[in-house]
């Protein structure tokens, strides 16, 4: 998916919602356990209930890797039914170098080799350019680089300042910007960081930001938009638990849709305020 195609989807759907598919077999409705592949069945119904309301889906790979061969098969089948007009994000947070990074890229980007062909992948940049550039070599794919995360431990390193007063996450963004461009690079920025979005926009005014933390984690959508939205929107706001686990009964898909509608309506208002639509 190209940047312009993503922007068009945002304008058409009046939404910048990303639905996280962190599907935990211990949390899905019990009746689904009677199916041959409960994880896939859950994902399928969530996707069918929300695909007209969101512009991206983000499976967290750990929830599939932890189930071994069965989990990878659930992931492959899920990828196959993801709507082609939606950005598909492999939330894998890979962070290795050279040939290893290239193999990770093939694993998630090349369906002929692995059965998976995601549009993008989350990447940890700690090992430098070698850990990011292999993902940028795949035409039409995105690397979504961790910048400022919402977890408490993120502050252990990400806000350390250098002698010029630049925090580490600022240094990361400035350096990573030299490896790619807004057509193939995004950044992960946690919704709970609020005004930090204005700092990030100084260094990455045109890049899309993947924003986890709205919903169950308590991030404020209006605040994210106030400081982070640009003229093209420039945001993909992820919600997971508040949508996919809105109900643990047979109505779980309908409940997920109701929660997605609530967010989409709020997003439409923010897009109008920002003169994106």
Whole-number Å distance between alpha carbons of 156 and 152: 8
Whole-number Å distance between alpha carbons of 58 and 56: 7
Contact 224, 199 (CB under 8 A): no
CA distances, 235 to each of 12, 25, 197 (Å) = 15, 30, 11
Q: Residue 171 carries which DSSP code?
A: H
**Token pair for residue 71?**
């989990």
CA distances, 130 to each of 29, 62, 173 (Å) = 42, 23, 15
Asked if 93 is an active-site residue, the reply is: yes
**Which of the following is catalytic: 14, 44, 70, 93?**
93
**Token pair for residue 5?**
């195609």
**Token pair for residue 62?**
């750990």
Across-strand partners of 236? 210
Active centre residues (catalytic): 93
């Amino acid at each position: 998916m190209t940047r312009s195609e993503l922007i068009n989807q945002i304008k058409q759907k009046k939404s910048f919602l990303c639905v996280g598919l962190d599907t935990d077999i211990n949390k899905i409705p019990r009746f689904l356990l009677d199916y041959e592949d409960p994880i896939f069945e859950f994902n399928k119904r969530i996707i069918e209930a929300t695909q007209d309301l969101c512009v991206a889906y983000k499976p967290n790979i750990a929830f599939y890797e932890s189930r071994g061969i069965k989990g990878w098969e659930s992931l492959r089948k899920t990828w196959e039914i993801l709507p082609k007009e939606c950005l598909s994000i492999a939330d894998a947070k890979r962070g290795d170098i050279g040939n290893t990074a290239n193999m990770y890229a093939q694993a998630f980007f090349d369906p002929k080799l692995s059965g998976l062909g995601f549009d993008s992948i989350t990447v940890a940049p700690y090992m430098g350019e070698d850990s990011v550039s292999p993902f940028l070599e795949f035409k039409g794919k995105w690397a979504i680089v961790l910048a400022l995360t919402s977890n408490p431990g993120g502050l252990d390193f990400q806000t350390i300042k250098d002698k010029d007063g630049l925090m580490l996450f600022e240094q990361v963004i400035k350096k990573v910007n030299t490896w790619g461009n807004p057509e193939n690079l995004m950044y992960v920025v946690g919704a709970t960081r609020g005004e930090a979005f204005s700092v990030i926009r100084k260094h990455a005014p045109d890049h899309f930001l993947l924003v986890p933390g709205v919903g169950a984690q308590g991030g404020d959508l209006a605040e994210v938009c106030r400081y982070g939205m640009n003229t093209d929107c420039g945001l993909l706001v992820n919600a997971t638990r508040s949508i996919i686990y809105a109900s643990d009964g047979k109505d779980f898909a309908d409940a997920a849709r109701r929660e997605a509608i609530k967010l989409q309506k709020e997003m439409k208002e923010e897009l109008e305020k920002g003169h994106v639509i």
